[in-house]
Amino acid sequence: MAAAMPAGVPARPILEVAGVSLAFGGVRALTDVSFEVPEGSITAVIGPNGAGKTSLFNTISGFYRPQAGKISFASESLTGVRAPERAARGLARTFQNIALFRGMTVLDNIKLGRHAHLRTGVLDALFYWGRAQKEELELRAEIEERIIDFLEIQHIRNASVATLSYGLQKRVELARALAMRPRILMLDEPVAGMNREETEDMARFILDVKEEWGVTILMVEHDMGMVMDISDHVVVLNFGQVIASGTPREVQGNEAVIAAYLGAGDVGELSRRIKAEAV
């Protein structure tokens, strides 16, 4: 777990995005995007549909290569680092659309999250002896004793993913990401499509991952009530550009953010909307 920072001392950035630009042909998805993610924080990236949020996530995790700019993780540049290596360094993510293997069990899906850290060779795995067997037993013990208990999914660990409700599938995807032993957990719309009870459960798990596991959270989310409730820092994108950054209170009162969401500079209207969604 990450050590707590002394009171009054700002946390160092664990992720730095500097001047990142991304284009697909003549379409500019990101333009000179810069922000920092403080270590030990929950940082939310918000913005209207089409603002570039998922493009930003795909660029940070290595699926897209930007035309300009630099991304640094733990003070080391990620330029030229492929997605699997970024995962091995501690960048884990979930996806906007659930990306589980529906024909496999919950336990097997979660175990796949550790692939970037396994040291078993092909021969060991083929005959399932020595190091392969030892790693398998250690992995299963860690998943069952820590991750499955933590996310309260003991009752479905042997169930096929295809039989689960949408909310439970999202929880399994979170479990798989935690199995990667992340330093940063990137959550792409973690409560999209969930009802209020499922959303509250997921918000609680996200807070506990930060507090109990010491994992930094970077998330894209449209649920403004949840964002304002649990985030330490908010970055706002619109048309691929950062238009605001700060605490939830600062962003909530920013006229550029109001205009991006509502088309008008009515700060009071957004405040009322956020409070209504949080009830």
Query: pTM for this structure?
Result: 0.82
Q: Where are the alpha helices (H) located in 179-247, listed in sequence order?
A: 196-213, 224-230
Total residues found in the chain within this entry = 279
Q: What are the C-alpha distances in Å from 174 to residues 62, 160, 161? A: 19, 16, 13
Tell me, what's the pLDDT at 174? Answer: 93
pLDDT given for residue 263 in this prediction: 60
Residue 68: HSE in the Cβ half-sphere, 13 Å Cα cutoff? 10
Q: pLDDT tens for residues 26-54? A: 899 999 999 999 999 999 999 988 899 99
pLDDT-based confidence at 59, cuts 50/70/90? very high
pLDDT at 144 over 90: no
208-254 per-position pLDDT tens digit: 999 999 999 999 998 989 999 999 999 999 999 999 999 998 998 88
| Helix H or strand E encompassing 93 | strand 91-93
Tell me where in the chain the CATH 3.40.50.300 domain(s) lie: 10-90+182-279
pLDDT at 20: 97
Class of the domain covering 10-90+182-279: alpha beta
Surface-to-core class of residue 154, CB atoms within 10 Å of its CB (0-12 exposed, 13-18 middle, 19+ buried): exposed
Burial per residue of 132-146, b for 16 or more beta-carbon CB atoms within 10 angstroms, e otherwise: beebeeebeeebeee
